[in-house]
Chains A and B, each alone.
Chain A
Amino acid sequence: MIWTIRRLDGVADRASFQSTSNELNSWLAKQANQAQKKRLASVFIASPVDQPTCIAGYYSLAPWQIAFEQAPVKVTKRLPRYPLATALLARLAVDQSFQGQGLGGVLLIDALKRIHLAAQSVPVQVALVHAKDDAAAAFYRRYGFEPFADEPLHLFMAMGTVEQLFAD
């Protein structure tokens, strides 16, 4: 099956999306469009090429900041005093009827590619993901994301790793 991954639009049937997470289904149906209009998030959907209204999976990207409780002199010499800007992969979900086809990994790659392209214009040092639970965190760890010790549902990947992934 050939897929397209595109920005959420009015063609897509958001209400029919059914992943195993009611929270992620509800967000897509009720809030994704508004979040995108307010420029709080960008939402991308995967559809089979011949079914443009079908949403088989989606992910959302959002701007985030990483701040430090303490920034020692050694650190502040090479980092700004203000928080680090980063791109957050806030949500990623696959419809139950399309699970088991590797679509989650494909969506993750697509998200990293978009972060990679954005980082060429606006410097970003890490890609951040927010896992909704331990199972989701395990999904990201499998692809090399590292969890923070004190925030285990927030995981990161250095942009150096992402750049190597997409290096020609």
Chain B
Amino acid sequence: MATETIVRPDAKGRVGLGSYLRRIATQLGRMPSGFAAELTSDGAIMLRPRVEVAADEASTLVLSVADRDRLLAAIDGAVAPNQALLQAKAQHEVMVGPA
């Protein structure tokens, strides 16, 4: 249901939308900070729900004792590249250029 509300500026000419935003957020079950305000070309102010992007690129892997020991042993005694890796490197050179 579309509704229109008239808001009046304060003594400094400012228009606050806080109370309206809180009411809308409550109705939609969101936090007020979950909206972004956008001024459209015809002067209307649109409040759009923010889209959350998971920051799963910045995290930590916590290793068990056994996996820690396995990792440290591998670091200390790094093995030579296997045949599949060497072949992929050769293929990279053919398809893309020297890696």
Contacts and interface: CB of A to CB of B under 8 A. Distances in A.
Interface of A: 1-5, 31, 34-35, 38, 40-41, 46, 60, 62-71, 75, 79, 83, 88, 90, 102-103, 105-106, 108-110, 112-113, 125-126, 128, 142-144, 146, 148-151, 154, 156, 158-166
Given A105-B88, A149-B67, A154-B61, 7 more contacts: A34-B53, A67-B62, A68-B65, A106-B95, A109-B91, A110-B92, A158-B79
Given A67-B61, A109-B89, A128-B61, A151 B84 contact: no
Which of B54, B62, B95 has most chain A Cβ within 10 Å? B95
Q: Is the interface of A mostly helix, strand, loop or mixed?
A: mixed
Interface residues of B, number: 37
A60 B71 contact: no
B72 interface: yes
Contact of B70 (A34, A149, A163): A149
Given A102-B91, A151-B61, A164 B53 contact: no
Interface in B66-94: 66-68, 70-72, 74-75, 78-82, 84-89, 91-92
